[in-house]
């Protein structure tokens, strides 16, 4: 699901940028900022979308498994793992003002579209249901730490928190025996 959520955001951003600027190629690319050799992995004249952190959403965490009755059998699914993803958009352009221009477009895009739902965006996988993105404002120390663990020198960038990506293994449900009778005798309790 992580790949589906980030690919969706990348595709939507590229469509917006093509319409806004008249470019024909995709500018936003999903991937690393720095490669294993310490060199920029993103090409010039592009924006990288990279995942910098994952945190569990604890305020809406489900504690109990979900049970349902499907085709005469009791199906139990584990609770969803709800995640918040921290995404960094890094602009690498030959001309500094171009980097700032594309970052401005990206921030405008999320300012006018802070919420994506599968009802409004058919390209969004229905399993994701909805995604929201909030601009984050790391202080100087946090920004320095982010760039240090990315392994590069600072480039124009923006950090967003994407809420809530839910993961659940749909392929391995716990299937119980079919329910054949209901005991209404309360005296046996």
CATH at residue 154: 3.30.2000
Per-residue pLDDT at 38: 87
pTM of the full predicted structure? 0.81
Per-residue pLDDT at 103: 97
Q: Is 12 inside a domain boundary?
A: yes
Backbone angles phi, psi at 143, to 5 degrees: -65, -40
Sign of the C-alpha dihedral computed for residues 109, 113, 114 and 115 taken in this order: negative
Q: Is 152 inside a domain boundary?
A: yes
pLDDT values of the chain reduced to their tens digit, one per residue, 189 residues:
889 999 999 999 999 999 999 999 999 999 999 998 889 999 999 999 999 999 988 776 666 666 666 666 677 777 777 889 999 999 999 999 999 999 999 999 999 999 998 888 989 888 887 899 999 999 999 999 999 989 989 999 999 999 877 765 555 455 555 556 666 666 655
Q: Do residues 50 and 31 lie in contact, with contact meaning Cβ atoms separated by under 8 Å?
A: yes
Q: Is 180 inside a domain boundary?
A: no
> Which residue segment(s) compose the domain that 111 sits in?
2-62+73-170
Per-residue pLDDT at 29: 97
Burial of 45 (0-12, 13-18, 19+ CB in 10 A): middle
Domain count for the chain, please give it.
1
Query: For residues 121, 30, 145 and 163, what is the CA-based torsion angle, rounded to 10 degrees?
Result: 20
Q: Is 50 inside a domain boundary?
A: yes
Place of tokens 């809420």: 163
Place of tokens 């749909």: 170
Per-residue pLDDT at 64: 62
Q: Is 102 inside a domain boundary?
A: yes
Q: Is 189 inside a domain boundary?
A: no
């Amino acid at each position: 699901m992580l790949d589906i959520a980030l690919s969706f955001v990348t595709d939507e951003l590229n469509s917006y940028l093509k319409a806004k600027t008249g470019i024909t190629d995709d500018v936003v690319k999903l991937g690393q900022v720095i490669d294993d050799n310490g060199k920029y992995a993103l090409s010039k004249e592009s924006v990288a979308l990279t995942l910098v952190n994952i945190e569990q959403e604890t305020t809406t965490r489900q504690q109990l498994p979900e049970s349902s009755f499907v085709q005469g059998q009791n199906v139990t699914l584990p609770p969803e793992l709800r995640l918040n993803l921290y995404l960094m958009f890094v602009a690498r352009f030959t001309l500094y003002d171009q980097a700032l221009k594309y970052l401005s477009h990206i921030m405008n895009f999320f300012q006018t579209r802070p919420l994506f739902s599968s009802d409004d965006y058919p390209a969004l996988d229905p399993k994701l249901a909805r995604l929201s993105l909030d601009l984050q404002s790391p202080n100087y120390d946090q920004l320095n730490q982010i760039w240090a663990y990315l392994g590069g020198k600072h480039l124009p960038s923006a950090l967003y928190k994407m809420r809530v990506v839910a993961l659940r293994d749909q392929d391995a449900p716990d299937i119980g025996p079919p329910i054949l009778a209901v005991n209404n005798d309360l005296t046996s309790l």
